Amino acid sequence: MADAPANLTLDVELTTRLAEILGRVPTFAWRPQGPAYQSSEVAIFYGRILDTPDRAIAVRVYSPVDEPHLSRRRVQFHVRGRRDDIADADRLADVLFLVLDNRLRGDGIASITRTSSSQLGADKTGREERTENYLITLDNLEASS
């Protein structure tokens, strides 16, 4: 098997780590191996949102920005609220902001800052969606050991 690209494992690990952090929030759940999410939970997904449950957040790393001695990643959170509740995606994005923005040192992450957000409108079943974009600075594990 050919060697994987150098950033692949890092991006997979970061996506998983962020999903785990969100999965610790009350009513949020990260269960990549199952069982199925309950309708009362906010499902955390890797990469893309599945059809159920209504309330969900997908985590996706994109556009790595690497500098010597500093690794940063841009991460997009795709947020979807419950059916026919125009403000629910906004409420979920507020929770994301409280949990993530200006988070300092922990879980291999040095800092997290929100850089932008965008309303996407409702999907065909009336679930409002939006995206939240964050810049993640990874902890320098060599310096902290």
pLDDT exceeds cutoff 60 at 142: no
> Could you tell me the two tokens for 140?
């320098």
Extended beta strands in the chain, E state = 28-29, 42-46, 56-67, 70-83, 104-106, 109-122, 127-138
Instruction: Name the pTM for this structure.
Output: 0.87
> Could you tell me the two tokens for 59?
């985590």
pLDDT at 62: 87
pLDDT exceeds cutoff 70 at 85: yes
Question: 67 pLDDT band (50/70/90 cuts)?
Answer: low
6-144 carries CATH number 3.30.2000.30: yes
Could you give the count of Cα atoms lying within 13 Å of 117 in the half-sphere of its Cβ?
Answer: 18
pLDDT at 5: 42
If you average pLDDT over residues 86-111, what whole number do you get? Answer: 91
pLDDT at 24: 96
44-48, 55-59, 101-105: segment of lowest average pLDDT:
101-105
Residue boundaries of the structural domains of the chain: 6-144
15-29, 52-66, 129-143: segment of lowest average pLDDT:
129-143
- What is the rounded CA–CA span in Å between residue 65 and residue 35? 35
